[in-house]
Amino acid sequence: MNTEIATTESPESTDIAVRTAVQMLNAGEAIGLPTETVYGLAADAFNEEAVGKIFEAKGRPKFDPLIVHLPSKAALADIAVVTEELETIVNVLTTQFWPGPLTILLPRKPGVPDIVTAGLDTVAVRMSEHPVFRKIIKDFGRPLAAPSANRFGRISPTSAAAVLEELGGLIPLIVDGGACGRGLESTIVRLEPPEDGNVTARGKKKKARIEIVRAGSITAEDLKNFGIVIRPKRSARAVPGAPGQLASHYAPGTRLRVLDDPGDFTPENGKRYGLLSFRGEAEDGYLSLTHWSEVAVLSPGSGKMVEAAIRFFFLLRQLDHSGVDEIIAEPIPDRGLGMAMMDRLRRASTQAADGE
Ligand code: TXA
Ligand code: MG
């Protein structure tokens, strides 16, 4: 299959890209689209055959459910059931974070195909804030199922070139919407109403529980004003409940290891190592450990998490292609977006450790 790339550099080319994308979605194709987090592989959520093409192109097992992207907040009612006890918290979160990188798990409406939710009674929903994605889904007028546009278990793509590398020849179209502004996937949350009603005996409002199922672009700190935030467990293996929250994920082809203590590193003779460093500072004790064949610095100088997040998957991909035998990742401070990046690094290294 020939994979066409549609650019969006001018208003004219954007119009053509949007029209082509909508035509293909209407024809039941799965296509690569930009979102603010990572590129998605999108298809009509209500067309089972089209959704099947997502699984096929990605090589994704059918037990791993997809996120449904909405054309509008109103469309939430077509997909999910917002129970009375969750209404307040859902309203607060969608007002605050939609459109944007927050995915909410809710009971699904019966009409949502089983293939989308992997037969679960919940559905993951979000609304992207990417301008090109929004144009396309608005013109298409219906929800789109869209996982990240990488082959199953591999590094998520944050550019059209990365999607082409992952899925070139397997899908008919990639809309190039430029680099993803956030660089990490959406945060997935599960909600629980306050126990025994929304208000206390004294008439005070009680807080709902917001459980982070997948750390992502919206941080625990961002959420904490809106409910009692339950952070995900540190170990990738301990993440409960969600199919697809698989321990081995986000893996480069090259072996990757998170080196928690620089003192634990004994380089093997003749092996080429690449370092993924957070700030690239000598004081951290990583730069001087060995003769690194490659060094990629996530947040040189500024130490800002936002910068590191935008560069994260891009640099992992680059290290993966650099020909080193092993990537050594320096731990990233486990706060804010750092939590999301550490989650991905630990999953990537789990796979290497399993030798899968
Ligand atoms: O930022 C994002 O979320 C990107 C962009 C393209 O929107 N999408 C994305 O999708 O990261 P994906 O498929 O790569 O990751 C979605 C995760 C999977 O781990 C899946 O198992 C989980 O969401 N998921 C989907 N539906 C679920 C459900 N009903 N219950 C629990 N987990 C669910
Ligand atoms: Mg993914």
What is the C-alpha to C-alpha distance for residues 162 and 3, in angstroms, rounded to an integer?
Answer: 13
Domain boundary, last residue among 176, 210, 233: 176
In which domain, by residue range, is 163 found? 4-176
- Kindly state whether residue 181 falls inside one of the protein's structural domains: no
CB 324 within 8 A of CB 294: yes
CATH of the domain at 336: 3.40.50
DSSP per-residue string spanning 191-258: EEPPTTSSB-TTSPBPPPEEEEEE--SS-HHHHGGGSEEEPPPSSGGG--S-TT--SS-SB-SSEEEE
Does residue 242 register a pLDDT over 60? no
Shared domain check, 13 and 113: yes
What is the 150 CA–ligand 2 centroid distance (Å)? 7
Q: Are residues 16 and 164 in the same domain?
A: yes
pLDDT of residue 355: 37
Minimum mean pLDDT range among 121-130, 257-266, 344-353? 344-353
Work out how many domains the chain is built from and give that number.
Answer: 2
**For residue 184, which atom of ligand 1 is closest to its CA?**
1
Q: What is the mean pLDDT of residues 297-325?
A: 94
What is the predicted pLDDT for the residue at 241? 46
Q: Is 43 in the pocket of ligand 1 (CB under 6 A)?
A: no
Ligand 1 site, residue 227, Cβ cutoff 6 A: no
For residue range 91-137, what is the model confidence (pLDDT) as tens digits? 999 999 999 999 999 999 999 999 999 999 999 999 999 999 999 99
Average pLDDT over residues 279-306: 91
Whose Cα sits closest to atom 31 in ligand 1? 242
Q: Answer whether residue 9 shows pLDDT above 60.
A: yes
Ligand 1 in reach of 123 Cβ (< 6 A): yes
150 Cβ below 6 A of ligand 1: no
Please check the confidence at residue 203 and state whether its pLDDT lies above 60.
Answer: yes
pLDDT value, residue 351: 47
Q: What is the mean pLDDT of the chain?
A: 92
* pLDDT the model gives residue 249: 67
Answer whether residue 243 is part of any domain.
no
Q: Name the band, by pLDDT with cuts 50, 70 and 90, for residue 204.
A: confident
pLDDT of residue 194: 86
C-alpha 138 to ligand 1 mean position (Å): 21
Amino acid symbol at 303:
G
* Whether residue 303 sits in one domain with residue 164: no
Indicate the residue among 155, 176, 197 that finishes a domain: 176
Percent of the chain with pLDDT over 90: 84
The number of the ligand nearest the C-alpha atom of 246 reads: 1
pLDDT at 238: 40
- Assess whether pLDDT exceeds 70 at residue 192: yes
CATH code assigned at 82: 3.90.870.10
Residue 329 burial (CB count, 10 A): 27
Give the per-residue pLDDT at 143: 98
Average confidence (pLDDT) over 181-201: 89
Number of the ligand closest to the Cα of 64: 1
Report the separation in Å between the CA atom of 186 and the middle of ligand 1, taken as the mean of its atom positions.
8
The alpha-carbon radius of gyration of the chain (Å, integer) is 21
37 within ligand 1 shell (Cβ under 6 A)? yes
**pLDDT at 237 (0 to 100):** 47
Beta bridge partners of 124: 67, 105
Same domain? For 264 and 160 the reply is no
- 272 near 255, Cβ under 8 Å? no
Asked whether 75 and 82 are in contact (CB, 8 A), the reply is no
In a domain, 346, yes or no: yes
Residue 239 pLDDT greater than 50, yes or no? no
Q: Tell me which ligand sits closest to the C-alpha of residue 39.
A: 1
Tell me the β-bridge partners of 154: 251
Q: Is the CB of 115 under 6 A from ligand 1?
A: no
Check pLDDT > 90 for residue 356: no
| Cα–Cα distance measured from residue 89 to residue 210, given in angstroms and rounded to the nearest whole number | 9
Considering every ligand atom, which ligand is closest to the CA of 41?
Answer: 1
For residue 245, what pLDDT band results from cuts at 50, 70 and 90? Answer: low
Strands (E), the chain: 4-7, 31-33, 40-44, 67-69, 100-107, 122-127, 144-145, 173-176, 187-192, 209-214, 228-230, 255-258, 273-277, 294-297, 326-329
The rounded Å distance from CA 35 to ligand 2 centre is 13
Instruction: Using the mean position of ligand 1's atoms as its centre, give its distance from the Cα of residue 88 in Å.
Output: 24
Q: Give pLDDT tens digits for 38-95.
A: 999 999 999 999 999 999 999 999 999 999 999 999 999 999 999 999 999 999 999 9
CA dihedral 52, 58, 64, 68 (to 10 degrees): -70
Q: Is 245 in the pocket of ligand 1 (CB under 6 A)?
A: yes
Mean pLDDT to the nearest integer, 155-183: 98
Please, how many CA atoms are within 13 Å of residue 163, restricted to the half-sphere of its CB?
A: 32
On whether both 49 and 165 belong to a single domain, the answer is: yes
Are both 37 and 152 inside the same structural domain?
yes
SS3 category, 147: coil
Which residue has the least CA distance to atom 30 on ligand 1?
A: 242
d(CA 166, CA 161): 9
Ligand 1: atom nearest CA of 64 is 21
- Which position has the higher pLDDT, 201 or 9? 9
Report the atom number in ligand 1 closest to the C-alpha of 108: 29
Q: Is 280 left (phi over 0), alpha (psi -120 to 50) or beta?
A: left
Residues 28 and 154 in one domain: yes
Please report the atom of ligand 1 found closest to the CA of residue 156: 14
- Among 55, 103, 191, 313, which residue has the most ligand 1 atoms within 8 Å of its CB, making it the best to mutate? 103
Distance CA(229)–CA(234), nearest Å, equals 15
Ligand 1 pocket mutation pick from 185, 213, 310 by most atoms within 8 angstroms of CB: 185
Ordered strands of the 273-277 beta sheet? 255-258, 326-329, 273-277, 294-297
